[in-house]
Amino acid sequence: MYADHFGLKQAPFSIAPDPRYLFMSERHREALAHLLYGLGGGGGFVLLTGEIGAGKTTVCRCFLEQIPKRCNVAYIFNPKLTVIELMRSVCDEFHIPYPQREPGTATVTDYLDPLNAFLLSMHAVGQNTVLIIDEAQNLSADVLEQLRLMTNLETNERKLLQIVLIGQPELREMLARPGLQQLAQRVIARFHLDALSEAETAQYIRHRLAVAGLTGPIPFAADTLRRIHRVCGGVPRRINLLCDRALLGAYASHKEVVDRQVVDKAASEVFDDATGSSASPASTRRGALWVALFTGLVLGVAGWWVVRSLERPAVAASVNAATVSASAASAASLAMSAASAVEAPASTPVAATSSLPFDARTDFARLPSQKDEAWTALGDYWKAQLGSGERAPCISAQDQQLPCVRMTTTLAIIRQLDRPGILTLRDANGQVAFAVLTALDIDSATVLVGAQPMRMPLGMLAVMWEGEFATLWRAPAGYRAPLNDGGTGTVVDTLATQLAAWSGEPAPTAGRAFDAALKVRVAAFQRAQGLKSDGIAGPTTFMQLNRVSGVAEPRLSLATPVR
């Protein structure tokens, strides 16, 4: 209804899980990295918890997409089951035949024995098996104990079943109970997904508006974005509900920009109250006292202002009370600081653009057959002039402190590296072409055909792409080769500083050597990012450090050149 009024092609804040609107914050990426790390942990439990609407389903969708092909997956989304019902559901999900019994006569063994035989057969052919249970806070103690016993299915080398539990914070409390200590000790990776920060909330709103077709300024004032974050507690689902109603309210009031009055009215209609005191259990627990004090200050100032205005209209604009003036000034300063933080981008995202479906029969021939043409197009995203020839693009990029990286990899790694790059494609006849990858969604990739972005289903890409990928990254001053043992200098200082910032520690002093302790810190960072934890600081490690540190680099999104 309001889309045309704000220059949008569609409503941007639907709560439907449209993959085009996928927004992965840093904490969502970190949650995904923990799940992927747990997948290779050799069996046991992986735990992901988060508040309602915090984005657990988003992470789970990405996780399912990035699970290797030689991996069998069962997904149970209704865990309010008895032990027998659970075992039957697991066998059904894996398509395991089992004896048919009369109702009420089946036993756990009827399902456990076929499951064990299935797991052994999959292990024999080199396939892993994963069981994912959503809403796991609804599991009974008996079912949890049965899940623990299922992880006893193992060979001499490894456990045969990996179980991923996804649920609300109560799940952590359940596993902390004395009767479930044995299960808790088998959790090899766990992550609690917090809500979005204030800056991430603003980025989330901008992202969804851009996907919906917005090309101009967003229709939310900076202080309004801060208000939305406070009311919603940074929970994406609540942000969607509030922003959708606020845009509708602004449209009904013939306003071009959503102001705070519209947001508060929308909050009173969508939620229990306009102050957002019930916004999110997590945000309430973290900041109940601050919310109460801030709300009291705002209401006190507002009430005083109304009374003052009614009694003395002529001098309503003059505030003489020193304490109120100081409080108002402090609040204004806080709002300005928050607005500045919201406006500061964490990276160099690329703007939205429309894309057309990729036709393998006609569009493949339009892709460049010479890699230097693709390098030229990729250089546009980095504001870099790259030369022509087999080695010239990388030589000229190196001169601009933008080393080339060529690798054989997977879409999962490319999604983590989060940067445009060049894919080497081959058609059914063996003809080679080079496509610049500019966006990667849940079910499609966007590549440049000439200057036109075109959307290619991931199934089509899998047929044409064998894993060859090339990209650029912004190297720290002094970088010449991967850092392993020994060495000092500016590049080591930069590495140590970025690692300290990532872990929330003070910046180290200059002159740090790449010693054993620093290598351990590099390995810890690599594990958290889902990389090979060898402690060697090479291109992929620095790429991820750049991303978490906010170094300005082009990102994989709805990308267009920055020139």
DSSP collapsed to 3 states, 81-116:
CCHHHHHHHHHHHCCCCCCCCCCCCCCHHHHHHHHH
pLDDT tens-digit map of 111-155: 999 999 999 998 888 888 889 999 999 999 899 989 988 888 877
Residues comprising the chain, all counted: 563
Residue 69 burial (CB < 10 Å; 0-12/13-18/19+)?
Answer: exposed
Reading the block at residue 141, the tokens are: 């103690």
- Please report, for residues 119, 227, 264, 323, 337, the alpha-carbon distance to residue 342 in angstroms, rounded to integers and kept in the order given: 50, 12, 20, 29, 9
d(CA 228, CA 510) in angstroms, rounded, equals 41
- Quickly state the pLDDT bin for 441 (edges 50, 70, 90): confident
Q: What is the mean pLDDT of the chain?
A: 78
Q: Please compute the mean of the pLDDT values over residues 429-455 and round it to a whole number.
A: 86
pTM exceeding 0.75 = no
Residue 324 clears pLDDT 50, i.e. is over it: no
How far is 183 from 144, CA to CA, in rounded Å? 8
Least confident of 135-149, 176-190, 339-353, 510-524: 339-353
Strand arrangement of the beta sheet that strand 187-193 belongs to? 71-76, 128-133, 162-167, 44-50, 187-193
Residue 519 CB partners (closer than 8 Å, separation 6+): 484, 485, 535
More confident residue, 325 or 382: 382
- Of 473, 548, 409, nearest to 66 by C-alpha is 409
- Mode of pairing for the β-strands spanning 404-408 and 44-50: unpaired
- The predicted model gives 542-555 an average pLDDT of 85
Say whether pLDDT at 242 is over 90. yes
Closest by Cα among 177, 229, 191 to 33:
191
Rg (CA), the chain: 27
Q: Do 204 and 25 touch, CB atoms closer than 8 A? A: yes
Q: Decide: 193 and 76 in contact? Cβ < 8 Å.
A: no
Q: pLDDT tens across 485-537, in order?
A: 777 888 899 999 988 887 777 888 888 888 888 888 888 888 777 677 788 99
Which residue in the block uniquely carries the two structure tokens 């079943």?
161
SS3 165: strand
pLDDT of residue 563 exceeding 60: no
Does the structure show a pLDDT above 60 at 556?
yes
- Percent of residues in the chain assigned helix, strand, coil, to nearest 5: 45, 15, 40
Pick the closest to residue 218 from 1, 12, 381 (CA basis): 12
